[in-house]
């Protein structure tokens, strides 16, 4: 598997850009056949005299195996590497080429001897879908070269080609955006369904999800009654508002993910993003089926929908500051063509400190992503900005800081104006 992947990658290897995450910020470098006096890439500036550096990229034509092995490789390295080794997230990509992103790790080995690390890395490429590169420093310490190792079936342990390592400018868009579509965010029922079908042999619960899905997506006209989605972070007042709207409008109240998936959420939350996001995407389609049925009889209020699924996924996939998000108008913010479109989407916003206070008062457990929101302001800002950029339909922002009855009245005014209720 790795050998086949390597044969596909090698013709374009020198065109690739490499990114290493240090303290949450990406630093880029590239490779070329000759050095032309470029500065040393930032990644290597802090490398001490006897330190050794390697990169490992997970590479498999089986996307399920690739997604699951990436975190497994990290666990293996952290468990087996000698003390004095630092591991950082790393990626390799072809600029502006979709689905070209390879994920991996950058290893800085500060241990007393290289033999244990070298043996571990050689064992990895013998048994797992991993490409390994070593980085060699010149005698004067000013230049670095990259050497790509061979895989288990190669006649030699290392490839003979050495490339000079040079700085690279940051790409126009964060490299994670190259692989977001139908990987971190799903834009069709079939794409998400295929991931769970491919996972069924190793995740028995995937079959249970597939059995809950509608047999086919019928091309249905808009429901007779409006469908209003209420979005927002935890503790912004969604539950209070959606229940008040249900009672005031005589509406049906639905939630996404739907109740039928609740027993399976803990299981899929342990899976890597590809499988976890496919699970939540299919939850939206189950909810959409319910929305279509209920909307023929009565107005429908929905507690979260596709906006949440997409906003959290995009904010998680794209590291660094808010400016690294795909630009406004990017296709990653487009609404799936086969998913029922709500009549109105309301995004509740709240001052971060007030939201934290409400969470403390509520005393309820949080998802891992909600915990991340609480201690990582940058992540919260990215989620909120991703919410705002999703289009077709876009969110209408409502300040949730006033008393609940005032928020209700404001949203009712919006519904009457937009949905003619």
Confidence band of 153 (pLDDT split at 50, 70, 90): very low
* Same domain flag for 270 and 383: yes
* Same domain flag for 187 and 102: no
pLDDT of residue 259 exceeding 90: yes
Three-state SS sequence of 355-386: HHHHHHHHCCCCCHHHHHHHHCHHHHHHHHHH
* Same domain flag for 75 and 205: no
φ/ψ region of 392 (left if φ > 0, alpha if ψ in -120 to 50, else beta) reads left
Give dist(CA 209, CA 200) in Å, integer. Answer: 10
Number of domains making up the chain: 2
pLDDT of residue 313 exceeding 70: yes
Per-residue DSSP letter, 272: -
For 262, residues 6+ apart whose C-beta sits below 8 A from its C-beta are none
What is the pLDDT, as a whole number, of residue 138?
A: 85
Residue ranges making up the domain that contains 61: 2-172
Question: What phi and psi values does residue 226 have, to the nearest 5 degrees?
Answer: -65, 150
pLDDT-wise least confident of 145-154, 158-167, 206-215: 145-154
The mean pLDDT of 195-210, rounded to a whole number, is 96
What is the pLDDT, as a whole number, of residue 196?
A: 97
What is the pLDDT, as a whole number, of residue 116?
A: 79
pLDDT of residue 67 exceeding 70: yes
31-43 pLDDT, tens per residue?
A: 999 888 889 999 9
1-60 pLDDT, tens per residue?
A: 455 555 666 678 999 999 999 887 889 999 999 888 889 999 998 888 788 999 999 988
For 185, residues 6+ apart whose C-beta sits below 8 A from its C-beta are 277, 281, 309, 310, 313, 314, 332
67 SS3 class: helix
pLDDT-wise least confident of 209-218, 272-281, 291-300, 332-341: 209-218
Q: What percent of the chain has pLDDT over 70?
A: 89
* Same domain flag for 157 and 279: no
What is the pLDDT, as a whole number, of residue 158?
A: 42
What is the pLDDT, as a whole number, of residue 165?
A: 95
Confidence band of 155 (pLDDT split at 50, 70, 90): very low
369 class by beta-carbon count within 10 Å (0-12 exposed, 13-18 middle, 19+ buried): middle
pLDDT-wise least confident of 149-158, 317-326, 363-372: 149-158
List the one residue out of 311, 282, 284 whose CA is nearest residue 199: 282
* Same domain flag for 70 and 116: yes
Confidence band of 219 (pLDDT split at 50, 70, 90): very low
pLDDT of residue 216 exceeding 70: no
Question: Measured on CA atoms in the order 187, 193, 197, 203, is the torsion positive or negative?
Answer: positive
Q: Which residue has the higher pLDDT, 116 or 309?
A: 309
pLDDT-wise least confident of 68-72, 114-118, 291-295, 336-340: 114-118
CATH number at 261 reads: 3.40.50.300
352-391 pLDDT, tens per residue?
A: 777 777 677 665 555 566 666 655 788 889 999 999 999 9
User: What's the chain's average pLDDT?
Assistant: 88
pLDDT of residue 152 exceeding 70: no
What is the pLDDT, as a whole number, of residue 57?
A: 95
* Same domain flag for 130 and 196: no
pLDDT of residue 399 exceeding 90: yes
pLDDT of residue 405 exceeding 90: yes
**Which of residues 104, 139, 172 is at a domain's end?**
172
Give dist(CA 134, CA 120) in Å, integer. Answer: 13
Kindly list the distances between the CA atom of residue 155 and the CA atoms of 160, 163, 399, in Å, as whole numbers in the listed order: 12, 21, 65
* Same domain flag for 163 and 139: yes
pLDDT of residue 77 exceeding 50: yes
Give dist(CA 178, CA 194) in Å, integer. Answer: 20
* Same domain flag for 228 and 360: yes
**Which of residues 172, 200, 222 is at a domain's end?**
172
Kindly list the distances between the CA atom of residue 17 and the CA atoms of 26, 37, 151, 175, 311, in Å, as whole numbers in the listed order: 12, 19, 21, 9, 27
**Which of residues 130, 150, 172 is at a domain's end?**
172
Give dist(CA 336, CA 316) in Å, integer. Answer: 20
Give dist(CA 20, CA 11) in Å, integer. Answer: 23
* Same domain flag for 301 and 346: yes
The mean pLDDT of 254-258, rounded to a whole number, is 95
What is the pLDDT, as a whole number, of residue 172?
A: 86
Structure tokens at 144: 């670095």
The mean pLDDT of 139-162, rounded to a whole number, is 69
- Helix 273-294 crosses helix 189-199 at what angle (to 10 degrees)? 130
pLDDT of residue 69 exceeding 80: yes
What is the pLDDT, as a whole number, of residue 372?
A: 61
What is the pLDDT, as a whole number, of residue 228?
A: 97
Beta-carbon count within 10 A of 135 CB: 21
* Same domain flag for 341 and 193: yes
* Same domain flag for 165 and 186: no
* Same domain flag for 270 and 384: yes
Is-above-0.85 flag for pTM? yes
């Amino acid at each position: 598997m790795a050998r086949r992947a390597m044969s596909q990658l090698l013709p374009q290897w020198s065109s690739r850009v490499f990114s290493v995450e240090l303290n949450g910020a990406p630093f880029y470098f590239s490779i070329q056949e000759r050095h032309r006096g470029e500065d040393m890439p930032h990644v290597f500036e802090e490398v001490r005299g006897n330190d050794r550096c390697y990169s490992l990229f997970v590479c498999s034509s089986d996307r399920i195996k690739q997604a699951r092995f990436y975190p497994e490789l990290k666990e293996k390295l952290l468990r087996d590497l000698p003390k004095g080794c630092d591991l950082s997230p790393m990626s390799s990509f072809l600029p502006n080429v979709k689905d070209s992103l390879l994920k991996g790790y950058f290893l800085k080995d500060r241990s007393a001897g290289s033999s244990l690390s070298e043996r571990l890395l050689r064992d990895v490429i013998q048994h797992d879908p991993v490409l390994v590169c070593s980085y060699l420093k010149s005698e004067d310490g000013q230049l670095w070269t990259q050497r790509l190792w061979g895989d288990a079936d190669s006649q030699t342990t290392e490839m003979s080609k050495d490339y000079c390592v040079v700085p690279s400018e940051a790409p126009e868009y964060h490299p994670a955006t190259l692989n977001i579509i139908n990987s971190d965010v799903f834009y069709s029922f079939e794409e998400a369904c295929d991931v769970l079908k491919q996972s069924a042999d190793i995740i028995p619960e995937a079959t249970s999800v597939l059995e809950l899905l509608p047999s086919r997506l019928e091309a249905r006209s808009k429901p007779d009654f409006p469908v209003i989605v209420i979005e927002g972070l935890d503790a912004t007042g969604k539950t209070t508002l959606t229940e008040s709207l249900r009672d005031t409008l005589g509406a049906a109240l639905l939630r996404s993910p739907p109740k039928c998936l609740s027993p399976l959420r803990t299981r899929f939350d342990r899976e890597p993003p590809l499988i976890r996001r496919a699970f939540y995407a299919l939850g939206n389609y189950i909810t959409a089926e319910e929305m279509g049925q209920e909307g023929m009889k009565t107005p429908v209020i929905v507690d979260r929908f596709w906006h949440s699924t997409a906003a959290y996924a995009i904010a998680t996939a794209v590291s660094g500051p808010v400016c690294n998000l795909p630009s406004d108008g990017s296709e990653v913010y487009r609404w799936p063509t086969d998913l029922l479109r709500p009549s109105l989407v309301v995004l509740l916003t709240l001052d971060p400190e007030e939201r934290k206070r409400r969470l403390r008062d509520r005393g309820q457990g949080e998802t891992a992503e909600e915990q991340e929101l609480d201690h990582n302001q940058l992540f919260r800002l990215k989620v909120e900005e991703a919410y705002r950029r999703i289009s077709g339909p876009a969110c209408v922002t409502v300040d949730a800081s006033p008393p609940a009855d005032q928020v209700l009245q404001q949203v009712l005014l919006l519904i009457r104006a937009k949905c003619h209720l």
